[in-house]
Chains A and B, each alone.
Chain A
Amino acid sequence: MTLKLPMMALAGFVALGMVPSVAAAADTAAEQFRDQFLNGELTWDDVSARARQEGEVNWFHWGGSEQLNSWIEQVAAPEMKKLGVTLKTTRLAGTREAVDLVLTEKQAGRGVGEGSVDLIWLNGDNFYTLSSQDALFGSFAEKLPQSRNFEFDSTDPRSQLNLSDFGTPTGGQEMPWSGEQYICYADMARLPRQEAPADFEELEGWLKENPGRFTYVKPPHYIGNTFVQTVLYAFNPSGRGYQDFQKPIEEFTPEALAEIMLPGFEYLKRIEPHLLPVYPQNQQANQALYNNGEVDLACEFGLYLVDSYRKTGAFSETTETLLFPNTGMIKNKNFLTIPVNAPHPAAALVFADLMSRFDMQASKLEKIGYPLGIDRWKLSKQQQETANSVAPSHFGVTAEDLAAVAVPDTNASLVKVIERVWQAYIERKSDKPFPEIVLNAMKAG
């Protein structure tokens, strides 16, 4: 019976796991600070003073870009130091890791001031997850001094990009950091601009003549989802394009949703035999296909992607941006948010404010091609000129062209349905009737 002892230890652990975590009392000083700040009882000087006291701020961000990492160390960190705060960053392979950490700590009863994450760079379903779990610091964005650089007036339709993140109201709980647009790029040496397709019908015709010369990233990767959304907008039989896809899932019957999605999915099914017989799993794999000359054009987020990758050598010097599809190119913003249990809340606010400052935004645009997150029309004339002069080239298209075809992203609750429908209808080739596939996808959520 030598296994008895280990078994007992094991039983003890099971018991431990069964005990629900006990909520601990939060850091009262931090809680007080939060309430006072959110109620507008503190001046910005009070916040800055407390930030200096806190001394450091922990920012969690996707760390896959060497240029971004370098910019943060060389530009953002020294600037933060001037404000008396040390910037510490954690580079993530996926933003989900930070979200997990916040929620785990919250589960363990670590409340205001007691977690380990001060800020996260995110958008879309990661924000939705934190927001729906009540894991955010609060409505801070409009209370920062630099909020003057953003359109937060909801009566202006242009404010939507700041107030809505994949259809989830931001409620000021996150601060826009960069604006991105879904673009396609091509090598002009292989596919001259005048031969490149401009919309999805032309793409289909082009594919029939050039079989296998295009593919898109596989949903549920967000780059793939976005391509599918663009197709759905273009083929929406209601004629309202993207507008129908702004509504949350609760406002749809399965039949109604199936109806507006069917023509788009039929198109995707129709072109599948003409695509390269591979759906790359992410943008890196797609770029490899493009660089190897397996496909002639490829799509992903990145207004200044072509410029950045020409500089690092990843793309050829004949690569340019395409205006495709001219029926609507999805534009959205990504944000900085502060979780509920941020250990250095004042420093986090100071950092979010710094990142919204014009000089920081312009430097980020100039040095690494991350587009402005602030709104141009809120800037002074001189700032607008600076922004125009430091902006890298889009190569082949102008900012005006791109702005003219910009459309908003799809509601986060629908994105989940869309990816499940794609998996069933395209990937697993389900032979069930389309409305049933949509119904199952809606039920799975």
Chain B
Amino acid sequence: MNGKEGRLTLTKWLGLLPALTVLAVLFAGALVFAAVQSFGHAPQYGVTEFPTLKYYRGVLGDDGFWVSLGITFYYALVPTVLGGALSLALALSLSRRFRGKALALFLYRIPMVVPYLVGVSLAILLFANGGLFARLFHALGVIATPADFPRLIQTSGGVGIMMVYLWKQVPFMTAMLYANLIVIGRQPEEAATLLGASPWQTFRHVTLPRLMPALVGSTLIVFAFNFGAFEVPFILGAGYPNTLTVEAWRLFDNPDYSQRPAAMAIVCLLTLISAVCVLLYLMLSRRFDRTVGRAA
């Protein structure tokens, strides 16, 4: 069913054209606008220095940029890795038979279908220093004042931010893995068990390789999203240092409009870095696939 070979005729082009045009104009066009402005063409702000590298030099020369880049990576990577591992365990558990499965399948998807802002609300209520957890520990006599509770939100430690990411994304990754488990079916595993493989061996040599594409795909989406996320670090992060997206927002929001090309430079760099990371990851996972393929 993979379609007919051949050249694309005009009528078939017509099918693709509207969708591609919209994306080319809105998406690619937006990026080109951002890039052009970052090189100094923003007459509406009185900036007409095109082409100049001044804004990139300014951004890259600021120590704050590198600190922010580090923070951006940190907030993006930790939940991706932790979430990936957790989702794997959960998807495997969910694929078993148990009582109340229908309810579990309903409940676990809730975070997937609500905005990140809901997660932010929950984090504020639970993890603030005067939040419910702090009160619980106070009631248990563990802490005396809210100041004794560790700072989880509005610090650059980012625990609150990463909690929201995990809450939102573990269900998403679990859903992707679980769906693939269903598509794959249970026969390969059963066959391996019948042949005397231990549960660990079955997982390592049968289940995991089959889940790899889904695992790579879902962690990739999650990483790329976290890298470019805005609302969560903006509200739950520190005033300084914070992620590059928040820095870009602040520069763009600055009353001094001549700062805006610098904001553009940051978002362009952000896009570039994100794309490079995704490509690197894809290359690595392909290589890993081949190694695993040979070993199996």
Contact = CB atoms under 8 A, between A and B. Distances in A.
A291 B239 contact: no
Contacts of A10: 24-25, 28-29, 32
A5 B23 CA distance: 12
B43 interface: yes
A270 B240 CA distance: 20
Contacts of A428: 64, 240
A277 B134 CA distance: 17
B139 interface: no
Contact of A292 (B33, B36, B146, B240): B146
B151 interface: yes
Nearest to B44: A107
Contacts of B255: 96, 99, 125-126, 128-129
Given A17-B33, A292-B128, A428-B64, A278 B240 contact: no
A278 B154 contact: yes
A6 B23 contact: yes
Contacts of B253: 94, 96
Interface string B9-46: 00000000100110111001100110010000101100
Interface stretch (A250-258, A280-288, A344-352): A280-288
B155 interface: yes
A6 B255 CA distance: 35
B258 to A, nearest CB: 10
B70 interface: no
Nearest to A219: B239
B129 interface: yes
A294 B33 contact: no
Given A218-B239, A428-B64, A276 B32 contact: no
Contacts of B209: none
Given A218-B239, A294-B145, A9 B130 contact: no
Interface in A55-70: none
A294 B44 contact: no
B295 interface: no
Interface residues of B, number: 32
Contacts of B32: 10, 13-14, 17
Interface in B229-248: 239-240
Contacts of B44: 21, 104, 107
A21 B43 CA distance: 9
B147 A6 contact: no
A155 B283 CA distance: 75
Contacts of A212: 147
Given A129-B255, A279-B239, A292-B146, A7 B154 contact: no
Contacts of B146: 292-294
Given A14-B36, A96-B255, A278-B151, A9 B25 contact: yes
A5 B29 contact: no
Given A13-B32, A17-B33, A294 B130 contact: yes
Interface in B24-83: 24-25, 28-29, 32-33, 36, 41, 43-44, 64
Interface in A91-131: 94, 96, 99, 103-104, 107, 125-126, 128-129
A18 interface: yes
Interface string A6-50: 110110011001101100000000000000000000000000000
Interface string B107-146: 0000000000000000000001110001000000000011
A427 interface: yes
B178 to A, nearest CB: 35
Contacts of A7: 24
Contacts of B29: 9-10, 13-14
B104 to A, nearest CB: 35
For chain A, what secondary structure do more than half of its interface residues adopt (helix, strand, loop), or is it mixed? Answer: helix
A423 B63 CA distance: 13
Given A17-B33, A288-B130, A6 B154 contact: no
B130 A20 contact: no
A285 B154 contact: yes
A281 B239 contact: yes
A392 B171 CA distance: 51
A104 B43 CA distance: 12
B130 A6 contact: no
A13 B26 CA distance: 9
Contact of A293 (B8, B23, B130, B155): B130
A279 B156 CA distance: 12
Contacts of A104: 44
Tell me which of B28, B145, B240, B255 has the highest count of chain A C-beta atoms within 10 A of its own C-beta.
Answer: B255
Contacts of A99: 255
Nearest to B147: A294
A6 B36 contact: no
A18 B48 CA distance: 11
Contacts of A218: 239
Contacts of B151: 277-278
A9 B24 contact: yes
B167 to A, nearest CB: 21
Tell me which of A7, A129, A294, A423 has the highest count of chain B C-beta atoms within 10 A of its own C-beta.
Answer: A294
A339 to B, nearest CB: 16
Contacts of B28: 6, 10
Interface of B: 8, 17, 20-21, 23-25, 28-29, 32-33, 36, 41, 43-44, 64, 128-130, 134, 145-147, 151, 154-155, 239-240, 253, 255-257
Q: Which 9 A-B pairs have the closest CB atoms?
A: A292-B130, A6-B24, A13-B29, A292-B146, A107-B44, A9-B24, A218-B239, A125-B255, A294-B146
Interface of A: 2, 5-7, 9-10, 13-14, 17-18, 20-21, 94, 96, 99, 103-104, 107, 125-126, 128-129, 212, 218, 276-281, 285, 288-289, 291-294, 416, 423, 427-428, 445
26 contacts: A5-B17, A6-B23, A6-B24, A6-B28, A9-B21, A10-B24, A10-B28, A13-B29, A13-B32, A14-B32, A21-B44, A125-B255, A218-B239, A277-B151, A278-B154, A285-B154, A288-B130, A291-B130, A292-B128, A292-B129, A292-B134, A292-B146, A294-B129, A294-B145, A294-B147, A416-B256
Given A5-B20, A6-B23, A277-B151, 6 more contacts: A9-B24, A14-B32, A21-B44, A103-B257, A278-B154, A294-B146
